[in-house]
Amino acid sequence: MLCLFDLDGTLIDSEHGITACVKHALLRLDVPVPAPEELRRWIGPPLRHSFAPLLGHDAERIEAAVAYYHERFDSHGWREHQVYPGIELLIERLRGAGHRLAVVTSKPHRHAAPIIAHLSFGAAFGRLYGPHPGSAHSEKAAMIAEALADFGADPADAVMIGDRHFDIDGAIANQVRGLGVLWGFGDREELEQAGAHAIAAAPDELADLLLG
């Protein structure tokens, strides 16, 4: 089976790195920083989508904010994450069972690549799919379609695993099972409304779903 994993909120807890970079960008533009609970909602959607309402939908200021975000992410943010407990063992078990693994993330490829390379289990992933840095969209559906083509996988023999509705939306668009996880930044209601095939509260539950 082809197992496609989201990155932020699924494999790693990247809240500190992402929110610190958002704060950096807003401070550089002299824009008030939202409350912490609001900043958590920035994890998952494309940056431009989240910056737009705070910056009056001004295209020039949005691009400046994205550039400031990348400025800090390149130097510090990419290292500011933790692997969720149980994920490394899950990946080892899936690989040992012969499943093919890849990462499909809304994080730009150039940001996700060093994170994956730094993970102790990063070599388990055959490919990494991330949108172009200039894209304003998450492109999950297009990236899942690309993964299916690259691996020559039947949608019926593939799953997309993630913590936000973007992951489930992309799976459904490709007739792939979407499995939601609850240890990230979404919640059960969001995942159920998106049409998740199943939802796991912990990595061992996800292992049961994937390994039977």
The predicted pLDDT at position 173 comes to 96
The predicted pLDDT at position 137 comes to 55
Same fold, 2-13+81-211 and 15-79: no
Tens of each residue's pLDDT in the chain, 212 residues = 999 999 999 999 988 888 988 999 999 999 999 888 888 877 777 788 889 999 999 999 999 999 999 888 888 877 778 999 999 999 999 999 999 999 999 888 888 999 999 899 999 999 999 986 655 556 899 999 999 999 999 999 999 999 999 999 999 999 999 999 999 988 999 999 999 999 999 999 999 999 98
Model pTM score: 0.85
Specify the CATH number of the domain 15-79. Answer: 1.10.150.240
Residue 83: strand, helix, or coil: strand
| Nearest Cα residue to 82 out of 156, 147, 8, 137 | 8
Question: In CATH, what class is 2-13+81-211?
Answer: alpha beta
| Nearest Cα residue to 76 out of 17, 36, 128, 131 | 17
Tokens describing residue 185? 């930044």
Tokens describing residue 114? 């060093």
Tokens describing residue 200? 């796991």
Residue 65: strand, helix, or coil: helix
Q: How far is CA 61 from CA 30, 32, 57, 131, 200, in A?
A: 11, 14, 8, 21, 39
For the chain, which residues make up each domain, given as ranges? 2-13+81-211, 15-79
